[in-house]
Every structure is written in C-alpha cells, then in structure tokens.
C-alpha cells in the first residue's frame, strides 16, 4: 500500500507531528478508508528516513483519538467510523481542489485561502 506522506526534516514541525497530521487528513478526507491497513512502523520509517520511534509516536497519537487501531497480528488499521463526514462536504472540497489546480494555485496558496476563510468566520 502506498501512503502519500512526506516529512520535511529541516522544518519547524516535529516529524512525528507531520506524519500524524498527514495521515489524519487522509483519513478525514476518505483517502484512507476504514479497514485500510497502514504500512508497518518499520516500513514507513524506512521510506521516510526517520526513526521507528517517530512513526510509532504518530501511530499512537492517531490511536489515542480513535482514528486507527493497532493489533499484533493485523498491524495498524484505519478504524471503522474514522473519517466519516458529510459526503456533500467531501465532494465540495474535491471541487475546490480541482478548481484551485485548474487556476494553477499551489498547495500553500490554497491552504492560505482556506485558513483565511476560517479566520474570517465565513459562514
């Protein structure tokens, strides 16, 4: 399974938090559906070039909020009910992302627009 996670080792955000936040976003967006098995801690750590403990901490924090569950034989799996939300909202977000790409906006520009809308209290 291919998980689309990147880590900026030179950034100000700890690597475990980058991993946790990206996986949480993928789960919330439905890109990682309930029952999806995540890579083993060792495999993801090797792919990202981080310590095993870094990925372990990210997985533990996801488990603490009920986004995933870890079992000895099955590994770490996206929890049932994780990422559930309004399907219409998910579709609207996808349309916004497609429109932003069409306009040539970068991820950071799009995130800036969303953050601005959140801060302005858009209703």
The whole-angstrom separation of Cα 15 and Cα 71 is 24
The neighbour count for residue 71, using CB atoms within 10 Å, is: 8
Is residue 110 classed as helix, strand or coil in its secondary structure? helix
pLDDT for 90-105, tens place per residue?
Answer: 678 778 888 999 999 9
The whole-angstrom separation of Cα 103 and Cα 12 is 29
Quote the pTM value.
0.72
Across the range 21-28, mean pLDDT stands at: 91
């Amino acid at each position: 399974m291919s998980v689309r996670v990147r880590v900026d080792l030179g950034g100000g955000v700890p690597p475990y938090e980058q991993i946790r936040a990206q996986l949480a976003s993928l789960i919330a967006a439905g890109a990682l559906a309930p029952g999806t098995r995540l890579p083993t801690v060792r495999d993801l750590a090797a792919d990202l070039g981080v310590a095993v403990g870094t990925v372990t901490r990210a997985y533990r924090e996801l488990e603490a909020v009920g986004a995933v569950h870890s079992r000895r034989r099955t590994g770490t799996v996206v929890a049932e009910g994780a990422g559930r939300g309004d399907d219409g909202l998910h579709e609207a977000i996808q349309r916004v992302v497609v429109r932003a790409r069409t306009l040539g906006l970068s991820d950071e520009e799009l995130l800036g627009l969303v953050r601005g809308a959140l801060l302005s209290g858009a209703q």
